[in-house]
Each structure stands twice: as structure tokens, then as C-alpha cells.
Amino acid sequence: MVTPFGWLASRISLERRSLRAASLTAMIAAILIIVGGGVVRVTGSGLGCPDWPACTDGSLAPTAQMGIHATIEFANRLLTTVLCAAVGWVIIAARLQREPVPAITRWAWVQFWLVVLNAVIGGVTVWVKLNPFMVAGHFLAATLLLTAAAITWDKTQNLIAGEHPASTGKLKALGTIMLAANAALVIAGTAATGSGPHAGDSADVPRMGFDWLGITVFHALVAVLALATVVVMWRTANQQQLASVSRKAKMYVLVFAGQGLIGIVQALTHLPELLVVCHLVGSALVWIGAIRLLLASHAPQRSAAAAAHS
């Protein structure tokens, strides 16, 4: 049986640059979803629309009487439409390539299902009135989506550039440790946020109950571990003349330095809203860097075409 995509693929072929543009757009949209959620949190708009999927009982969109919080929350929900369009573009662009790219196509579909998961968790988060653990789960689901988008983009970049990445056993082990440290960093960050003052709504929303100073210090210590691991990877890659790993490690360190500075300043200035949002942008960029560095550190010697099929 011929599927709609199969029918289109027999008549239309797209260039590699369309796939690169689509994968980059989807990754940017995934970042915007994370940032949008942060804006909702710091403005106290999490329950601006008290129901889901409609804003209120019987109304999909907020009314003028509901105020600015409802507008902010509804605008964040509309970002999902932008994200769906971007992910749909990736799926179509991957499927209609002249030369098949099954790995990229699979990761495009992973993005689609993670969009669905993120939307459902977001709805449940509203239903449970911003339970802080559910809010953290919503953020982690968005991070999973960003992971799939970053992998898709990285594979597309390697395919177009014709890179032949290679790695060693030592770098592979370091890459695994590095990603585990970054995952712990993200989770610790959700605990710090869930224990901090930005509950996501102007009403009395419960917090996680951790000591904020203690969990923040722990978050910082994990950050030092993550950074130290990447510095070792950078040095090792330079010694072994592995340019791909070295380049991505360097980029990670530079982005991480900026992110760390923002984190220190926001902690010392009592978490101003703008810096919290900037820290979320930084966390997304650091995570993308960690994913790309992991892929580079686990890459065997092979052709770019073979990499697209893996």
C-alpha cells in the first residue's frame, strides 16, 4: 500500500539545504517552548488559563476580562502550534530527500511524539494546579524534545558537511560521564527552581520543600563536575587530534562560562525574572552542546552517508 509520504516522494525531491533549515527551525522552536514556559513561570501566569485544552470551561481562548496572565499563558500554548509546524516540516523534508536518510527521518518522528507527550504533560500540570513535581516533569519533557531536535540537527549538519567523525574508547567513556553529569545538572536545576520563589502563579502554589540554598549549592557542584569533564575531553581530543570533538568541547566551554556567570549573578541578586529567563536560554544551549559532544565522542570512523543511516 502506498502511503501519502510515499506518493509524494515518488513525485517530489527536496535538497539537503531544506532539511538543514527545517531541523534548525525545529530546534529553535524547541528552545522557544522552554523559554516560553519560563516566561509563564516568572510572570506568575501558570494558571492564567485555569483549564486545558480550553482556556476556560467553554472558551478556547481567554477573554479580555481575564487579564494579562491569561494572555501570556495562552500565547505560550500557541507556541505549540509553531512547534508542530516546524516538526512537520522536518518530517516532510527528511522523507522527501532524493537519497533516503532513515536515521534523520526516525528522529523527526521522535520529535513529533515528544511534542504530543509535552502537550499532555502540560495539560495535566494545569489540572493539578502547578504541582511543582509535575512542573518539573513538564520541563524535563521539553528537554527530551530539545534532545531529539538537537540530534536531528547534528546528524543533518554532519550529513551536509560530509564530516567523518571518529572517536576513541577513552573519549566515549568521558562522553558518557559528561552527559550523565549534564542530566544531573538539569534535574538539580528543576529542584532548585521548584524550591525557589517563582511558583508560576500569583496564588499560593506549593513548593518542593528542599532547602533552596542547599539544592543551589548542589546544583553548582554538579555544574563544576560537568565542566571539568568537558575540559578533560577537550584536552584529550586535542592530544588525539580529533577536531570534531575538540571543536564541540570548546564551544560547550564557552557557552557554559556564560551560563555559569548568569547563574551566579541571578543567585546573588535574588532571582530577578529577566535573568531567570536568560538562564533558561543558557541551559538549553548548554544541553544542545552536551548532546552534540556526546554524539561526537561516540562516533566511529565511517562515511557521512553511513552516519545518516544509523
> What are the domain boundaries of the chain?
4-308
Cβ partners under 8 Å of residue 7, min gap 6: none
Q: What is the mean pLDDT of residues 110-126?
A: 95
Give the least confident one: 149-158, 170-179, 201-210. Answer: 201-210
Q: What is the mean pLDDT of residues 177-182?
A: 96
Q: What is the mean pLDDT of residues 235-263?
A: 93
Size of the chain in residues: 310
Q: What DSSP state is assigned to residue 299?
A: P
Long-range contacts of 140-145 (CB under 8 A, 24+ apart): 140/186, 140/187, 140/190, 141/114, 141/117, 142/30, 142/33, 142/34, 142/37, 142/118, 143/34, 143/186, 143/287, 144/114, 144/117, 144/118, 145/30, 145/33, 145/111, 145/114, 145/115, 145/118
Q: pLDDT category, 168, cuts 50, 70, 90?
A: confident
Q: pLDDT category, 161, cuts 50, 70, 90?
A: confident
Give the least confident one: 26-30, 99-103, 221-225, 275-279. Answer: 99-103
What are the grid coordinates assigned to 243, written together? 577536531
Question: Looking at per-residue confidence, does 299 or 164 come out higher?
Answer: 299
Whole-number mean pLDDT of the chain?
89
Per-residue buried b or exposed e for 94-125, using 16+ beta carbons within 10 Å of the residue's own CB: bbbbeeebebbbebbebbbebbeebbebbeeb
- Max mean pLDDT range (4-18, 166-180, 247-261): 247-261
Give the least confident one: 20-34, 120-134, 161-175. Answer: 161-175
Q: What DSSP state is assigned to residue 138?
A: H
- Does residue 68 have a pLDDT over 50? yes
- Does residue 86 have a pLDDT over 60? yes
What are the grid coordinates assigned to 36, written together? 516560553
Q: What is the mean pLDDT of residues 154-170?
A: 78
Q: What angle do CA 57, 58, 64 make, to 5 degrees?
A: 90
Q: pLDDT category, 1, cuts 50, 70, 90?
A: low
